[in-house]
Copies of this chain bind each other. A is one copy, B any other.
Amino acid sequence: MFIDLFSPSVQHSLDLAGIFVFAISGALLGVRKNFDIVGMALLAEVTALGGGVFRDLVIGAVPPAAFTDLGYFLTPLVATVIVFFLHPEVERITAAVGVFDAAGLGLFCVAGTTKAYDHGLGLTFCAVLGMTTAIGGGVLRDLLAHEVPSVLRWDRDLYVVPAIVGATIAAVLIRFDALTGSTSALAATVAFLVRLLAMRFGWRAPRAWNRRSTAAEEV
């Protein structure tokens, strides 16, 4: 059912695709915040590469891939130029961007888990780092843009949970020695679908606040 999505060369193409869609979201936020093109490019680079750089520093894979692979570095610049010239069009296809971003989320959480395992981390921490790889860039994007990180806000659809689901499936597959190209693709697809469903149906996580008072909504 699944082609071998995680062979080295296919994996690299998928990485670039994930980097591209994350960079689009960074550059678009730069437009919304009224930053100039330099700020857009910085935000695009950080959004696309920040999670992976953090993962690589933690596992001791230095210099991080973002600082050795020209494709990783140039892709966000391409995304910036596209947004710079076409941003009303890109904004208009926000729904499509959301779908691509969900795809990036799925790819990154599985790739991050796998890379952490290759560097000898325990399975729980492989899943933690896979999740961190997927959400880290977006957190840094929001910090730099002076916004409350989207992943922390109760009024946003589930984002971290799909990443946890995908990373956990990948870790379980590794545990049972069943991680192949096909099963990796399956794990990424599940994360992708959970994210799409969360967007479609507005799934959200509970707040501690709510258990006391439904009248506290104005807080």
Contact = CB atoms under 8 A, between A and B. Distances in A.
A97 to B, nearest CB: 15
A163 B144 CA distance: 19
Contact of A207 (B34, B128, B148, B152): B34
Given A39-B153, A125-B73, A128-B73, A31 B208 contact: yes
Contacts of A144: 139, 143, 149, 152
Interface in A111-149: 119, 121-122, 124-125, 128-129, 139, 143-149
B152 A43 contact: yes
Contacts of A62: 57-60
A129 B207 contact: no
Chain B CB count within 10 A is highest, among A64, A124, A128, A209, for A209
A175 interface: no
Contact of A70 (B38, B122, B143, B147): B122
Count of chain copies: 3
Interface of A: 30-31, 33-40, 42-43, 53, 57-60, 62-64, 67-68, 70, 73, 83-85, 87-88, 119, 121-122, 124-125, 128-129, 139, 143-149, 151-154, 158, 160-161, 204-209, 211-212, 219
23 contacts: A33-B152, A34-B219, A35-B152, A35-B153, A35-B154, A36-B152, A36-B204, A36-B205, A36-B207, A37-B207, A37-B208, A39-B152, A40-B208, A59-B62, A67-B129, A68-B121, A70-B124, A84-B208, A85-B208, A85-B211, A88-B212, A139-B144, A146-B148
